[in-house]
């Protein structure tokens, strides 16, 4: 059964909608600025949506409402499935309770801030009685959520599913943890660059409305693209470092291409994970060089939006859909001196894109890939 995307919602530090984010992305702008939201932590580059760290629930509500409206739907949606993930969940609320630092959104009871907060909030907005799932797969969470939604449609459990991921990772514990690991940049995010310093945390979320093509046609819905295939694997190697033999990561990508019934040469654009850390970029560049023609255009948008952790794959999927709709390649913001022999997009340009591939890699060796078609 064919699965299509009929609605998208996106909020990032770069823009309050998919359109606003896309326009600033094409212009090569970045939302990353050096900030100090917590007195006990020195100033660091980060990508905040507003002047202060956001609440996960508010991001979720905005993104879901955008997607539902964009799909031309109204609530309640009693039979609409939900697969909305988050790596950090409502961690900021728990830190606020434990450390008593000010935070804009605090639930009155602990059970209102469980890790599945984004999924349950979405379910309440939709008023659904269908399956509600809340996957967590580190930085691969967004693509895992999209894949699980695809499966709900293929198995006949649902005819329509809202999928995606949100993240509000600007918290003392998250900043301190990545800083102690030596993973955070000191000035900015420069994916695949010789001078890359590390990752920059960013806030945001993205949601897609998936439907069976027959249902979308029946109601005359506008279609962004088609979800053709996915691949999901795990390295089972290390808590944070990728497995250098790359077998599991290669399998995830080749599975996605096989299920989509396309060859590597047919991919017109690849949205890379591209965190700007030394190990990730080196690992990912090697994967791309192993599987794909040298001419394949690739970019990472984390130099513009920051790394939205679990939400990054969902943001990447929306960027792929917009690239195919507008037939434009988004630039890899932050890249000035390429470190790898790849066709990294330096400036926005037109292109003929029929198929796009989005990659995500997460701690614990999580590997995820999805193929989308125009």
pLDDT, tens only, 295-350: 999 999 999 999 999 999 999 999 999 999 999 999 999 999 999 999 999 999 99
Q: Is 80 exceeded by the pLDDT of residue 287?
A: yes
Q: Which domains does the chain have, with CATH numbers?
A: 3-218 (3.40.47.10), 228-373 (3.40.47.10)
Question: Average of pLDDT values for 184-206?
Answer: 96
pTM, to two decimals? 0.95
Distance CA 47, CA 132 (A): 30
Distance CA 22, CA 180 (A): 33
Q: Taking the CB of residue 101, how many other CB atoms lie within 10 A of it?
A: 16
- The pair of three-digit structure tokens given for residue 17, joined into one six-digit string: 């909608």
**What residues are labeled active site?**
139, 273, 307
Closest CA to 349 of 30, 32, 8, 28: 28
Tell me how far CA of residue 31 lies from CA of 26, 35, 170, in angstroms.
13, 12, 14
Q: Is 90 exceeded by the pLDDT of residue 87?
A: yes
Q: Is 80 exceeded by the pLDDT of residue 238?
A: no
- Label the pairing between strands 225-234 and 366-373: antiparallel
- pLDDT for position 98: 79
Question: Average per-residue pLDDT in the chain?
Answer: 94
- The pair of three-digit structure tokens given for residue 228, joined into one six-digit string: 């053709």
- pLDDT for position 156: 95
Question: Average of pLDDT values for 48-66?
Answer: 95
Distance CA 250, CA 333 (A): 26
Distance CA 358, CA 183 (A): 23
Do 210 and 153 form a contact (C-beta atoms < 8 A)? yes
- pLDDT for position 227: 98
Tell me how far CA of residue 122 lies from CA of 24, 67, 78, in angstroms.
28, 11, 12
Question: Average of pLDDT values for 28-56?
Answer: 95
The tokens 């694997």 sit on which residue? 233
- pLDDT for position 114: 85
- pLDDT for position 333: 97
What's the chain's Rg over C-alpha atoms?
19
Do 281 and 298 form a contact (C-beta atoms < 8 A)? no
- pLDDT for position 103: 60
Q: Is 90 exceeded by the pLDDT of residue 163?
A: yes
- pLDDT for position 325: 97
Question: Average of pLDDT values for 162-171?
Answer: 97
3-state secondary structure the chain: CCEEEEEEEEEECCECCHHHHHHHHHCCCCCCEEECCCCCCCCEEEECCCCCCCCHHHHHHHHHHHHHHHCCCCCCCCCCEEEEECCCCCHHHHHHHHHCCCCCCCCCCHHHHCCCHHHHHHHHHHCCCCCEECCCECECHHHHHHHHHHHHHHCCCCCEEEEEEEECCCCHHHHHHHHHHCCECCCCCCCCECCCCCECEECEEEEEEEEEHHHHHHCCCCCCEEEEEEEEEECCCCCCCCCCCCHHHHHHHHHHHHHHCCCHHHCCEEECCCCCCHHHHHHHHHHHHHHCCCCCEEECCHHHHCECHHHHHHHHHHHHHHHHHHCEECCCCCCCCECCCCEECCCCEECCCCEEEEEEEECCCEEEEEEEEC
Q: Is 70 exceeded by the pLDDT of residue 356?
A: yes
- The pair of three-digit structure tokens given for residue 72, joined into one six-digit string: 């031309």
Distance CA 300, CA 232 (A): 20
- pLDDT for position 83: 98
**Residues 94-148: pLDDT tens digits?**
888 777 656 666 656 676 788 899 999 999 999 999 999 999 999 999 999 999 9
Nearby residues of 98 by Cβ (< 8 Å), 6 or more positions away: none
pLDDT > 70 fraction of the chain, expressed in percent and rounded: 96
């Amino acid at each position: 059964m064919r699965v299509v995307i009929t609605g998208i919602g996106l909020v990032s530090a770069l823009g309050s909608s998919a359109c606003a984010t896309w326009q600033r992305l094409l212009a090569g702008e970045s939302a990353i600025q050096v900030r100090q939201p917590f007195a006990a932590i020195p100033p660091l580059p980060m990508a905040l949506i507003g002047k202060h760290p956001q609440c996960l629930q508010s991001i979720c509500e905005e993104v879901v409402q955008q997607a539902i409206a964009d799909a031309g739907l109204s609530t309640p949606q009693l039979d609409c499935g939900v697969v909305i993930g988050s790596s950090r969940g409502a961690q900021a609320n728990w830190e606020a309770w434990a450390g008593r630092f000010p935070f804009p959104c605090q639930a009155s009871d602990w059970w209102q801030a469980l890790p599945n907060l984004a999924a349950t909030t979405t379910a309440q907005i939709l008023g659904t009685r269908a399956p509600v799932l809340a996957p967590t797969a580190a930085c691969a969470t967004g693509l895992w959520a999209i894949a699980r939604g695809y499966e709900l449609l293929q198995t006949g459990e649902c005819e329509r599913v809202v999928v995606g991921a949100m993240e509000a990772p600007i918290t003392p514990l998250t900043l301190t943890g990545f800083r102690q690991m030596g993973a955070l940049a000191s000035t900015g995010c420069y994916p695949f660059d010789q001078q890359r310093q590390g990752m920059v945390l960013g806030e945001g979320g993205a949601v897609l409305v998936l439907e069976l093509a027959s249902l979308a046609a029946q109601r005359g819905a506008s279609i962004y693209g088609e979800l053709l295939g996915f691949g999901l694997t795990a390295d089972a190697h290390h808590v944070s470092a990728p497995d250098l033999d790359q077998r599991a990561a290669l399998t995830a990508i080749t599975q996605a291409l096989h299920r989509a019934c396309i060859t590597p040469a047919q991919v017109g654009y690849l949205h890379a994970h591209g965190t700007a850390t030394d190990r990730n970029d080196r690992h990912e560049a090697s994967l791309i060089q192993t599987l794909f023609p040298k001419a394949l255009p690739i970019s990472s948008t984390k130099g513009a939006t920051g790394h939205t952790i679990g939400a990054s794959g969902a943001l990447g999927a929306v960027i792929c859909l917009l690239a195919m709709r507008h037939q434009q390649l988004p630039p890899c913001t932050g890249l000035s001196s390429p470190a790898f022999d790849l066709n990294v997009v330096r400036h926005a340009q037109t292109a003929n894109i029929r198929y796009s591939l989005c990659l995500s890699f997460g701690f614990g060796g999580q590997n995820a890939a999805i193929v989308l078609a125009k």
